[in-house]
């Protein structure tokens, strides 16, 4: 395939839809937590869904299509994370105010000129079974926003607050299983206008900037699935194709490239496609019509007072761009490390740790930006199993000199394997208590007494093999040197 596509001449048009989960205490319309910690479900509810006649009595083509597939939906129930509201057995509770305020902050950060004075929650028809209701609740919180990019104005057409759907577990024959602990977790969706004149890499950069603005609230979830990107892609004389579920931002430019190549080759039909892990896409269903929304009559309209909006404006969080400068000046992080931690999904955790723990900022930032990344990539360590407060413990140990920085990877590996254990358990189990200089001296002396003529390098090597991870190697070097000199 020709790699040198001129995106301007194929008239690439793209619209971005970024979905970011919010890290609120409760779900959007019930009092379930949003943590999604539970691993095993204890039961399942089996449901069928049928075609509902959408606006003006005409059945939605996409709904018909799904109906013909005659599927049975299995909804996994997770204790403490799924309630009757989540399984559509109880009406929704009031809109979560914490989530609403975060969404409004996002709207303000993205310069929305319009914030509706009265919010109307809508039901968006969902026909793939991913919600037990058959719809997803969603509400517009901002319109007519923009961000700047390379001197151009990128229009943000709309910001909505909505509930997440269930996560698909498997599809076997006509049986589809969903995990329901994710349902109802608040999401903000940010839609750009149609972006023209940008290439795939630039589109990815724009998505990145939008993402970083949303993360400025400090109330966003991190990790796989916390940000999901959908986009509309079309080329000259082509049809609009919707690509759903780009799980990693770094995949976005590739998806655009592949999709443009595909559309040039196949002459695209208007349809919804799913993004694959490798950046290619697969057919999901025909594109839904526009009549897929109607009012959620179980939730009264909600008036946003001018006063409340003014208060939110006053307490707007610092955009991350400003944060970058502060990290460099206050924490003395190098430019590249500061940028890395800004982009890291652990940014807010890093900040929280720096607020509470007096550990070396460079070591803390480095742990999140490179040590954890390496452990995940090379050793497949399941970092998500580690509870957040363990990281506080870890850096408290470091600040109190109860561990040395070299032992951090081993401790993290241990915590991921035994999430119920604390850092002190890890230190004990892995025998990582730092050694004092005199303890190291004793070890070196006992070797010297057996091999009095040993060379410096050899002695250093043997001592290090016995003390690695328990004392700084520079210090070992000093100790061994001082003994050999005698």
Partner 1 sequence: MYSQEIESLLKSKKIKVGDKILVSKGKSTYSGILMPRIELGDTSSLVLKLDNGYNIGVKFEKDTKIRLSQKGKPIRFKPAEMTARKDPNKPTVSILGCGGTIGARVEYTTGAVFPAFSPGDLIASFPELGDIANIKGKKLFDILSEDMTPEHWKVVAKEVVKEIESGVDGIVLMHGTDTLHFTAAALSFMLKDLPVPVILVGAQRSSDRGSSDNLPNLVSAVVAAARSDIAEVMVCMHANMSDNFCYLHQGTKVRKLHTSRRDAFQSVNVLPYAKISYPEKKIEMLRTDYRKRDKKTVKIDDKFNTNVALIYTYPGIKPEFIQSLRTFEGVVIAGTGLGHFPTNPTNDSFTKSVLLAVKNLIDSNIPVVIAPQTIHGRLNLNVYETGRRMEKVGVIGNECDWTPETALIKLMFVLGHTKDMNKVREMMTTNISGEVSERTEVL
**439-478 core/surface letters (b: 16 or more CB in 10 A; e: else):** ebbebbeebbeeeeebeeeebbebbeeebebbbeeeebee
The β-bridge relationship of strands 152-163 and 227-234 is unpaired
Look at residues 222, 229, 194, 219 and name the one whose alpha carbon lies nearest to residue 106.
Answer: 219
Asked if 134 is part of the footprint of partner 1 (rule: CB under 8 A), the reply reads yes
| Choices 41-49, 99-107, 195-203, 342-350 (CB under 8 A): range interacting with partner 1 | 41-49
Shorter beta-carbon distance to partner 1: residue 84 or 316: 84
| Residues in contact with 423: Cβ distance below 8 Å, sequence separation at least 6, in sequence order | 390, 393, 394, 396, 397, 403, 411, 415
CB 437 within 8 A of CB 475: yes
Q: Which of 34, 130, 138, 234 binds partner 1 (CB under 8 A)?
A: 138
Q: What's the rounded Cα separation, in Å, for the pair 69 and 47?
A: 14
CB atoms within 10 A of CB 315: 9
Burial class (CB in 10 A: 0-12, 13-18, 19+), 276: middle
Two tokens at 126?
Answer: 């969902």
Q: Which of 5, 93, 116, 406 binds partner 1 (CB under 8 A)?
A: 116
Angle in degrees, 0-180, between the axes of helices 388-399 and 347-356, rounded to the nearest 10: 40
Minimum gap (Å) between residue 244 Cβ and partner 1? 17
Minimum gap (Å) between residue 55 Cβ and partner 1? 4
Asked if 68 is part of the footprint of partner 1 (rule: CB under 8 A), the reply reads no
Shorter beta-carbon distance to partner 1: residue 135 or 331: 135
Residues 147-166 binding partner 1 (CB under 8 A) are: 158, 160
Q: Which positions from 309 to 348 touch partner 1 by CB under 8 A, shown as an x/- string?
A: ----------------------------------------
Residues 79-108 binding partner 1 (CB under 8 A) are: 84, 87-91
Asked if 140 is part of the footprint of partner 1 (rule: CB under 8 A), the reply reads yes
Q: What's the rounded Cα separation, in Å, for the pair 90 and 87?
A: 8
Asked if 192 is part of the footprint of partner 1 (rule: CB under 8 A), the reply reads no
Q: What's the rounded Cα separation, in Å, for the pair 356 and 151?
A: 39
Residues 260-299 binding partner 1 (CB under 8 A) are: 290-297
Asked if 300 is part of the footprint of partner 1 (rule: CB under 8 A), the reply reads yes
Residues 43-62 binding partner 1 (CB under 8 A) are: 45-57
The footprint of partner 1 (CB under 8 A) covers 45-57, 63, 84, 87-91, 113-114, 116-120, 122-125, 127, 132-135, 138-140, 143-144, 158, 160, 290-297, 300-303
């Amino acid at each position: 395939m020709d790699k040198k596509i001129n995106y301007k001449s194929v008239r690439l048009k793209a619209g971005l839809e970024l979905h970011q989960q919010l890290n609120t205490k409760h779900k959007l319309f019930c009092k379930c937590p949003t943590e999604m910690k539970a691993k095993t479900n204890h039961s399942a509810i089996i449901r069928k869904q049928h075609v509902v006649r959408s606006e003006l009595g005409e059945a939605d083509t996409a709904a018909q299509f799904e109906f013909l597939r005659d599927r049975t939906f299995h909804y996994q129930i997770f204790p403490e994370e799924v309630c009757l509201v989540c399984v559509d057995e109880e009406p929704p509770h009031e809109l979560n105010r914490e989530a609403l305020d975060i969404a409004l902050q996002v709207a303000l950060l993205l310069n929305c000129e319009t914030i509706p004075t009265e919010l109307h929650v809508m039901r968006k028809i969902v026909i793939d079974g991913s919600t037990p209701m058959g719809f997803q609740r969603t509400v517009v919180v901002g319109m007519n926003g923009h961000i700047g990019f390379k001197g151009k104005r990128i229009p943000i057409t709309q910001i909505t607050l909505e509930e997440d759907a269930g996560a698909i577990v498997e599809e076997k024959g006509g049986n589809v299983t969903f995990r329901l602990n994710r349902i109802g977790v608040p999401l903000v969706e940010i839609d750009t206008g149609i972006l023209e004149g940008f290439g795939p890499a630039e589109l990815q950069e724009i998505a990145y900037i939008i993402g970083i603005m949303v993360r400025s609230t400090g109330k966003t979830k991190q990790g796989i699935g916390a940000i999901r990107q959908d986009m509309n892609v079309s080329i000259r004389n082509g049809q609009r194709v919707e690509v759903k579920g780009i799980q990693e931002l770094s995949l976005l430019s590739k998806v655009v490239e592949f999709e443009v190549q595909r559309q040039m080759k196949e002459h695209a039909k208007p349809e919804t496609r799913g993004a694959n892990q490798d950046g290619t896409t697969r057919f999901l269903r025909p594109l839904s019509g526009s009549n897929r929304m109607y009012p959620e009559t179980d939730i009264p309209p909600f008036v946003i007072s001018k006063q409340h909006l003014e208060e939110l404006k006053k307490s707007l969080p610092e955009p991350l761009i400003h944060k970058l400068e502060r990290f460099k000046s206050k924490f003395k992080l190098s430019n590249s490390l500061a940028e890395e931690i800004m982009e890291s999904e652990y940014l807010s955790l890093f900040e929280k740790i720096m607020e509470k723990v007096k550990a070396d900022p460079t070591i803390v930032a480095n742990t999140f930006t490179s040590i954890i990344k390496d452990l995940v990539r090379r050793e497949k360590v399941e970092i998500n199993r580690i509870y957040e407060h363990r990281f506080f413990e870890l850096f408290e140990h470091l600040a109190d000199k109860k561990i040395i920085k070299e032992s951090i990877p081993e401790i993290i590996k241990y915590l991921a394997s035994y999430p119920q254990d604390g850092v002190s358990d890890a230190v004990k189990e892995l025998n990582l208590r730092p050694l004092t200089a005199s303890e190291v001296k004793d070890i070196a002396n006992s070797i010297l007494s057996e091999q009095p003529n040993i060379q410096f390098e050899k002695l250093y090597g043997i001592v290090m093999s016995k003390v690695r991870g328990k004392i700084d190697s520079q210090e070992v070097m000093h100790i061994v040197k001082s003994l050999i000199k005698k």
